[in-house]
Structure 1
Amino acid sequence: MSVRILALVGSLRAGSTNRQLAEAAVQVAPEGADVTVFEGLAEIPFYNEDIDVEGSVPAAAAKLRETAQAADAFLLFSPEYNGTIPAVLKNAIDWLSRPYGSSGFGGKPVAVIGTAFGQYGGVWAQDEARKAVGIAGGKVIEDIKLSIPSSVTRFAETHPSDDAEVVAQLTEVVARLHGNVGAAA
């Protein structure tokens, strides 16, 4: 049986380098691992307990929860917006943290990586994402990190999957996350 790793991308931009990084993760997944990029974060309304009512949860949020329940691990891709986590990624974490006691993360391994324009590659945002997802019930693998700086210039004419250094680092990240699935129990 293949380990299912659900990728959540914190950028909605069509040309997002984090989206491209997630696409590269799909390509480098080791045998026995299946990385799937979740489609539809833009359609999920901001979390609001008034609309999180059993039987009438918005369809996009219900799809996220269902997909997360079927996942064995999570790989979050976070750019950095104004020094912190993008709202779309935080919103996904909020929806998956509920209902209380039934987190979609459910103690499953989570790694947070990404790329950003700045010189540190989005480390502040990634740290914030680790904090939020850990509180939301995920088992954050703290030593799996990849922050790629200068995304705008580094990937201006090269897709991350064509950058040998990035491919090697990403391959290690996905393999290590895959290896943590059994260790999460």
Structure 2
Amino acid sequence: MIIHNIPPVRHVVCLAGSLRRDSWNRRLLRMAAAHAPATLRLDVWDGLDAVPMFDEDLELREPDGPAGVRSLRAAIAAADGLIIATPEYNHAMPGVLKNALDWLSRESPEGEVLLEKPVAVLGASAGPWGTRLAQASLRQVLHTCGALVMPTPTLFIANAAGRFDENAALVDQATGLSLQRFVLAFEQWMARVAPALARPQAGLTIAR
């Protein structure tokens, strides 16, 4: 009788820092999810438009948070890791993304969901400069919230309009390879900073 351990499957929530349904960063995350290895499950969370502006009066009225905030907190709390793809607006991350992080930094029934959560950051922009400054500001906020942010590799995608076809599929081979390396590096980062995830699952397959 041979007993085989089932490889752990890590669950990663992916968040695009844009409200546009067909944004470059949402496309990028969907491509990452489609090409993730079997040991990773990437789910794109699309409820950012339901997260209201952070307001301490609202927080007092609804101690558990508004419905959109509760949904985002629950998704991140249940995940093994978080990937955030940010555009760059005026040399910084978008306000809707900063607002979501402000909510996530607060105490909640799930605790501080960003605290010691493995996080990876990337971004795409239609312009020629990529998203370096947006990612820098995003990293600063995530570090302040206690997240475990992957330092490298970095992925700054400029001129995004030329990297996708009309069906939102990546047509730039170099970008596709960089995205695959990025996702695999994040899997290794999660195993490094959250080693409990690297242990085999309790379930076993048994070959007789």
Per the TM alignment, residue 109 of structure 1 is displaced from its structure 2 partner at its CA by 1.3
Match of 1:130 in 2: 139
Moved more, 92-101 or 22-31: 92-101
Structure 1 counterpart SS, 2:13: strand
> How far 1:15 moved relative to its partner?
2.5
**2:33 aligned partner:** 26
Q: Does 1:110 align with 2:119?
A: yes
TM-score w.r.t. structure 1 length? 0.91
Instruction: State the distance in 2 between where 1:15 and 1:120 align.
Output: 20
Matched, 1:173 2:143: no
How many angstroms apart in 2 are the aligned matches of 1:6 and 1:153?
26
Distance in 2 between residues matched to 1:128 and 1:6, nearest whole Å: 20
| Paired residue type of 1:113 | L
State the 1:91 CA deviation.
1.5
**Aligned-CA RMSD value:** 2.0
Deviation at 1:56, TM superposition (A): 4.6
User: How far apart in 1 are the matches of 2:179 and 2:57?
Assistant: 39
Q: Residue 76 of structure 1 aligns to which amino acid in structure 2?
A: I
Whole-angstrom distance in 1 between the partners of 2:85 and 2:104: 16
The alpha-carbon deviation at position 89 of structure 1 amounts to 1.2
Deviation at 1:120, TM superposition (A): 2.1
SS at match of 2:183: helix
Counterpart mapping for 1:142-161 below 5 A: 142-155=151-164, 157=166, 159-161=168-170
- Give the SS at the match of 1:112: strand
Give ranges in structure 2 of 5+ residues lacking alignment: 1-7, 195-208
Counterpart of 1:98? 106
* Residues 160 and 166 in structure 1, CA contact (< 8 A), matched pair in contact too: no
1:126 counterpart SS class: helix
* Residues 1:85 and 2:69 aligned together: no
Post-superposition shift, 1:163?
Answer: 2.4
2:148 aligns with 139
Aligned CA distance change for structure 1 residues 152 and 161 (closer, same or farther; 3 Å): closer
1:51 aligns with 2:83: no
Residue deviations 1:18-63 (CA, integer Å, cap 9, x gap): 1100110111111211111112101100112222246551011001
Amino acid paired to 1:116:
S
Identity of aligned residues (%): 34
Alpha-carbon separation, structure 2, partners of 1:175 and 1:166: 14
Whether 2:70 is the aligned partner of 1:62: answer: yes
Q: Secondary structure at the match of 1:50?
A: helix
Aligned residues: 185
Tell whether the 8 Å contact from 2:130 to 2:157 is kept in structure 1 after alignment.
yes
